[in-house]
């Protein structure tokens, strides 16, 4: 599409010219909410203070993209974070004038840069209108709200994050203005801020009456300080295709965000695509999705499919989800393990398997656990190849008449065999208690010879047989084998105890520890009481024994 055909105009404007030349500047419903943190507002103020207020004539505030709506009104496609923050700073100065009882200056700032008031109702007509989520609070801030109320909103975790960020941005800027103007007493300082922002900040003002042209520009421009994610870009593109169905599109997207969480939306979108078409890099995905959605009908169908996938994706993150109630306990245990180890690379494959016959996903989940423990947790290999092979399995599952055994064959391509796995396990050190408890708990269940119910491993503590802070009882062993200090986090030197037992064992010598171990109901722990002594040789020997059991547990 040629630029000339898109009817795009660009011009240089000061903030004053921008805010005073239009009826209203509206953030469309589909644009993201306010997202600047104190880090971005600090940087914004630093630029204002160091450049605008230090005598420089001009400060480039970046480009902004607008869609012309009628004679006076515009929609902002790119630039809403900056415009909202500028408005908050004007509101701070307006409130500073009010605090110093300068009603005339307060009125000038308000009418020139924030809003106009109806003579009859006294209500304000704002210049900037944020999206549906943020606008109510934003208007409170720019038309005047109590300081205590703003502070309360900034700390209220029940409020949407964007509301808290708006309140914090106001409070952050208020404090900076307070310091700069000596508790709002220096009227000249307040005037410098207003004049500096209004007349020395300038933007490249890009306007078009063509929505498609605006979105082409949007895809290549980011708001200052906060990069646009894949989810941001896709949401805006889908909504641009919605037409009369915008409300329905917005509803579907809101439902997905609630299920997945805003921070995981990009990961979810990529994983959903991978579950159908195999591995793809994030930076390539937007163009691929956009290229497949040319019409409103295609966009609607994709969004509906994505909404359905969100149900499954959300459930995969929770082994207790009602979706898995009728699944075997072993599947739910495997799903807990997947989430414990954060094996999110397997989610696309599990999403693909969920659409197959009942037992398919159960088999695959058990193989994923075994492969991940052998390849990553114990083998220490990166997740790149793991993701590649799991994505390859996705495409196999989506093919007609795929059998579970075909998936196993693909996973076997990077599966460490027993010899390799045993060698890795025999030399492994671990420091994360949840991983240690899981591995030793599974080995305990395999070794236990009684039918007695085992304690919940999550309620047990990790015991270092050779202690982290050994007492004098260990001096002889430390002198004979100085390198024992390097074996403290070896799996062979670790066991499980309940909290009271762990306190009694503490840093004492091995003979005293054995008295505690002997009372434990855990086979991997009470068996230690039969050993005569403890050192590097014993640690290595025990670790090889545990490796043999581990190979029997995590296999396919």
Query: 393, 416, 439 — which closes off a domain?
Result: 416
59 and 168 in one domain?
Answer: yes
Beta-carbon contacts of 1 under 8 Å, excluding residues fewer than 6 positions away, are 212, 213, 216
- Tally the domains of the chain: 4
354 and 381 in one domain?
Answer: yes
CB 78 within 8 A of CB 221: yes
CB 394 within 8 A of CB 439: no
Distance set, CA 104 to CA 42, 94, 100, 384, 390 (Å): 29, 10, 11, 63, 67
In a domain, 211, yes or no: yes
Range of the domain at 295: 230-316
**DSSP-based three-state secondary structure for 528:** helix
In a domain, 322, yes or no: no
Distance set, CA 386 to CA 23, 230, 392, 518 (Å): 55, 23, 10, 42
Residue stretches of the chain with pLDDT short of 50: 1-5, 222-226
145 and 287 in one domain?
Answer: no
In a domain, 341, yes or no: yes
474 and 389 in one domain?
Answer: no
User: Among 253, 288, 291, which residue's Cα sits nearest to residue 31?
Assistant: 253
Structure tokens at 89: 């700073």
pLDDT at 121: 63
CB 270 within 8 A of CB 278: no
CA dist 250 and 239 (Å) reads: 7
57 and 153 in one domain?
Answer: yes
List of long-range contacts for 258-262, beta carbons under 8 Å, 24+ apart:
259/310, 259/311, 259/313, 259/314, 260/310, 260/313, 260/314, 262/161, 262/231
Rounded to the nearest 10 degrees, the angle between the axes of helix 230-240 and helix 246-260 is 160
Q: Which uninterrupted H or E stretch holds 202?
A: strand 201-208
387 and 261 in one domain?
Answer: no
CB 242 within 8 A of CB 297: no
In a domain, 446, yes or no: yes
Can you give the length of the chain in residues?
556
Query: 388, 416, 444 — which closes off a domain?
Result: 416
Query: 296, 316, 336 — which closes off a domain?
Result: 316
Beta-carbon contacts of 358 under 8 Å, excluding residues fewer than 6 positions away, are none
pLDDT at 500: 67
Backbone torsions φ then ψ of 155, nearest 5 degrees: -110, 0
CA dist 438 and 550 (Å) reads: 12
Q: How many C-beta atoms surround the C-beta of residue 359 within 10 A?
A: 13
In a domain, 323, yes or no: no
């Amino acid at each position: 599409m040629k630029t000339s055909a898109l009817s795009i105009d660009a011009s240089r404007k000061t903030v004053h010219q921008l805010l005073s030349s239009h009826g209203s500047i509206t953030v469309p419903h589909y644009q993201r909410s306010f997202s600047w943190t104190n880090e971005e507002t600090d940087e914004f103020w630093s630029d204002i203070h160091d450049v605008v207020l230090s005598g420089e004539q001009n400060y480039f505030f970046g480009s902004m993209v607008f869609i012309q709506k009628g004679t006076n009104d515009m929609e902002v496609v790119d630039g809403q974070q900056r415009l909202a923050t500028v408005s908050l700073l004007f509101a701070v100065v307006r409130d500073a004038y009010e605090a110093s009882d300068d009603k005339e200056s307060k009125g000038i700032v308000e009418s020139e840069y924030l809003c106009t008031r109806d003579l009859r109702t006294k209500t304000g007509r704002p210049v900037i209108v944020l999206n549906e989520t943020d606008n109510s609070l934003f208007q409170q801030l720019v038309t005047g709200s109590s300081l205590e109320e703003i502070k309360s909103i900034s700390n209220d975790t029940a409020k949407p994050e964007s509301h808290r960020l708006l309140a914090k941005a106001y409070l952050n800027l208020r404090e900076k203005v307070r310091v700069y103007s000596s508790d709002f007493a220096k009227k000249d300082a307040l005037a410098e801020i207003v004049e500096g922002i209004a007349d020395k900040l300038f933007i490249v003002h890009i306007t078009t009456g063509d929505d498609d042209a605006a979105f082409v520009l949007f895809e290549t421009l980011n708001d200052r300080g906060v990069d646009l994610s894949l989810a941001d870009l896709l949401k805006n593109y889908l909504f641009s295709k919605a037409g009369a169905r915008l409300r329905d599109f917005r509803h579907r997207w809101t439902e997905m965000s609630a299920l997945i969480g805003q921070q995981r939306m990009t990961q979810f979108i990529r994983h959903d695509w991978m579950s159908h078409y195999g591995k793809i890099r994030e930076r390539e995905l937007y163009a691929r999705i956009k290229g497949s959605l040319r019409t409103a009908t295609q966009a609607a169908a994709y969004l509906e499919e994505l909404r359905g996938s969100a149900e499954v994706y959300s459930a995969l993150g929770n082994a207790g989800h009602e979706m898995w109630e009728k699944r075997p306990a072993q599947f739910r245990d495997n799903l807990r393990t997947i989430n414990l180890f954060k094996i999110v690379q397997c989610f696309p494959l599990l999403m693909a398997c969920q659409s197959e016959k009942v037992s398919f996903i159960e088999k695959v989940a058990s193989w994923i656990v075994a492969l991940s423990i052998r390849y990553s947790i114990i083998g220490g290999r990166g997740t790149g190849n793991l993701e590649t092979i799991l994505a390859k399995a996705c495409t196999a599952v989506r093919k007609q008449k795929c059998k579970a055994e075909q998936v196993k064959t693909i996973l076997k391509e990077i599966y460490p065999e027993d010899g390799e796995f045993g060698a890795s396990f025999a030399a492994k050190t671990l420091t994360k208690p949840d991983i240690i408890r899981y591995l030793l708990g599974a080995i305990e269940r395999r070794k236990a010879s009684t039918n007695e119910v085992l304690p919940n491993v999550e309620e047990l503590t990790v015991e270092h047989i050779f202690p982290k802070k050994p007492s004098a009882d260990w001096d002889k062993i430390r002198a004979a084998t100085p390198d024992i200090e390097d074996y403290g986090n070896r799996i062979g030197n670790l066991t499980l105890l309940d909290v009271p037992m762990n306190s009694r064992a503490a840093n004492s010598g091995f003979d005293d520890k054995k008295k505690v171990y002997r009372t434990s109901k855990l086979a991997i722990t009470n068996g230690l009481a039969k050993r005569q002594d403890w050192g590097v040789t014993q640690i290595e020997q025990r670790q090889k024994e545990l490796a043999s059991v581990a190979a029997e547990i995590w296999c396919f």
